[in-house]
Chain A
Amino acid sequence: MANLKLTDIAKTYGGTVNVLNNINLDIQTGELVVFVGPSGCGKSTLLRMIAGLEKISAGTLEIDGQVVNDIPPAQRGIAMVFQSYALYPHMTVRDNMSFALKIAGKPKAEIDATIERVAKTLQLGELLDRLPKALSGGQRQRVAIGRSIVRNPKVYLFDEPLSNLDAALRVATRLEIAQLKESMPDSTMVYVTHDQVEAMTLADRIVVLANKGIAQVGTPLELYESPQNEFVAQFIGSPAMNLFPGKVIGTGDVTSLRLDGGGLITSDVPTTDEDMGLTVNVGVRPEDMLITEVENWVMECTVNIIEALGDVTVLYFDSLEGQAPWIAKLPGIHNGLRGQSVRLTATPAKVHLFHNGQSLLYR
């Protein structure tokens, strides 16, 4: 029911601590946008600025075309779900959910009807007269979500809503949120998370925040398949993408590269003649590494550690001095590779090229 427009938004705490700069973002009506990024990069800060709980230091925030920088949270048409649930501990579930409506002076009959309806969709019927302390974590989270729904907001804001739940419950609640979104196709949602799976499965678009700004915005698969920079490449996907230093030795529609370790590889990323001899980082995701016998190998290394997960096997290799190990993720079970020397390669379509941290695909 509402679109969000962030223009040149910046945040400085106390006049000195600069946290975010030049945030430009358009969020369409009905979109679910996920903010991800390393801890402390300002995800919560950005969300709280949208909510109105944190002052916007510079730039403008528009909701539905209206500048809301100086409008208090309650009048922005937003609802927020906190990581700690933030339920009012002294109120029953029913009172928690109806608090905003009572404050807004809605008639009692209407409030009751709304609570009944929302409680039914979230299966909270039994719990309406309990206090929050008598609820499990998952139930508390549902109440927190219910409390935001009853207000019928234009924009939902979630700050790591699932991070206090255990793994199984997190999956279940994630599905519930996906269904909830489905049932309210017009409501716009902004969702902050640490969890990649949550981001990949829920998001229409993902915003990766890093270094006080936006590293990339795109659909989950865009971010996965064509990351704009090394940061996004290594942040999205698990384990992180391998980076091999190398040089361009052949240009054109496909690019040939020689790696510092002596390996050879080609990439589908096109290059021009000027790129000849360019030093690049060649990025290959662990799951795109293939064991090979051919000459065009990326690397030939001894397997250090094996993690057999059943569906996949993760191999760890020594990398350059002081850097994270190189990793390959092979489908299926591979016993007896430990201590063996293997050659690895990747198909050209899966080989990413970065120069000075930026992808050569986006130029």
Chain B
Amino acid sequence: MHPALQGILTIAFGVGGCVGYFYLSNIILDHAIFPARGTHIARNIRRANIVRPWLFLLPALLALGLYLAYPVFETLRLSLTERVPGGGSVFVGLDNYKQMLGEDKFWEALQNNFLWLLVVPAGATAFGLLAAQLTDRIAWGNLAKSLIFMPMAISFVGAAVIWKLVYDARPPGAEQIGVLNAIYIYYGGDEAQQWLTIPFWNSFFLMAVLIWIQTGFAMVILSAALRGVPEDTIEAAIVDGANPFQIFFRIKMPQIMGTIVVVWTTITIVVLKVFDIVFAMTNGQWQTQVLANYMFDKLFRANDWGVGSASAMVIMLLVSPILIWNVYNARKEMR
């Protein structure tokens, strides 16, 4: 079967299945299990209404349980075991973790992750805020916004490919196509550089990709928040003599601080899980390793499920507190 046709069938089957499930299960609940008639009509309606939310949540709960909750525990179990040659596994306690902590690559990955953590959320939020403020008042602001938002629609791997071309360097003599090298040479650089192989700085070239993607997200959310700042507080500040910078930093920004925090933490979570960009651009070489790519290396290249799972647990431990804080802030914002 043609893959497109297959896709359409899957969608039709999935959506139809959902609608069918909700419709039929509702009918069964209302007519067969707790019928709204007879002597216990009031009690039946009440019970049906108690059960209904769970009925509707059931598919989602099952799916999340199967694909999220179960893997967490399975990963935890795997991280404490080791494969035995010839099949099966044995419990090895914290050995995998010990081995992992002894590896330089792990520490490099952890270090890089922290670097990403410092740079990307700050960069994306700052650029997003700037874009939101600047595009708000101009006639072609919406066009600018769509352009800035567009990278959000590109997969990380696609974005990595695009930026690989930006950083590209061909052997001397061949025609150069990399934009960065073009700029470098225009401003007096001697010859084309292999940007992605220059340790320390190459991490920043990778981060640029994620900032490029996430700025659009930050901009959209912050732009909505900026519009929510009451116009008359801004007018009051104008009357009070504040200049545009003071209005932005002392009146507008403090009022959207909650949203800024939510955007910041959301991007932080994306950053902690960053994998595709590093995988597609350097695959962790030249000291650009990050935790998720390290995990992938161990799990699927070295076939070492123990250490791979252990690093997955580390990532989860790092993400969880930020996730909880993020949800807490988002809820506070919604109130």
Residues on A facing B (Cβ under 8 Å): 51-53, 72-75, 78-80, 82, 84, 86-91, 99-100, 103-104, 147, 151
Contact = CB atoms under 8 A, between A and B. Distances in A.
B246 interface: yes
Contact of A82 (B232, B241, B250, B257): B232
A7 to B, nearest CB: 23
A201 to B, nearest CB: 26
Given A89-B255, A90-B257, A100 B230 contact: no
Nearest to A104: B241
Given A90-B254, A90-B257, A103-B246, A79 B232 contact: no
Given A90-B254, A90-B255, A103-B246, A73 B232 contact: no
Given A88-B251, A90-B254, A53 B239 contact: yes
A5 B238 CA distance: 23
A89 B241 contact: no
A100 B246 CA distance: 11
A91 B250 CA distance: 10
A152 to B, nearest CB: 13
Contact of B240 (A52, A84, A151): A151
Contact of A86 (B233, B241, B242, B254): B233
Contacts of A51: 239
A89 B241 CA distance: 18
A75 B238 CA distance: 10
A86 B230 CA distance: 8
A104 B242 CA distance: 9
A84 B230 CA distance: 10
A74 B254 contact: no
B241 A74 contact: yes
B255 A74 contact: no
A199 to B, nearest CB: 23
A100 B240 contact: yes
Contacts of A79: 239
B237 interface: yes
Interface residues of B, number: 17
Interface in B210-252: 230, 232-233, 235-242, 246, 250-251
B240 A103 contact: yes
A256 B236 CA distance: 56
Nearest to B243: A103
Contacts of A104: 241
Interface in B244-276: 246, 250-251, 254-255, 257
Contacts of A90: 254-255, 257
A74 B235 contact: no
A74 B233 contact: no
Given A100-B240, A147-B236, 19 more contacts: A73-B238, A74-B240, A79-B239, A80-B235, A80-B236, A80-B239, A84-B230, A86-B232, A88-B251, A88-B255, A89-B233, A89-B255, A90-B255, A91-B254, A99-B240, A103-B240, A103-B242, A104-B241, A151-B240
A73 B242 CA distance: 10
Contacts of B251: 88
A86 B255 contact: no
B239 A73 contact: yes
Contacts of A88: 233, 236-237, 251, 254-255
Among B232, B238, B241: residue with most chain A CB under 10 A? B241
B201 to A, nearest CB: 39
A87 B230 CA distance: 10
B255 A84 contact: no
A29 B239 CA distance: 21
A177 B297 CA distance: 74
B236 A74 contact: no
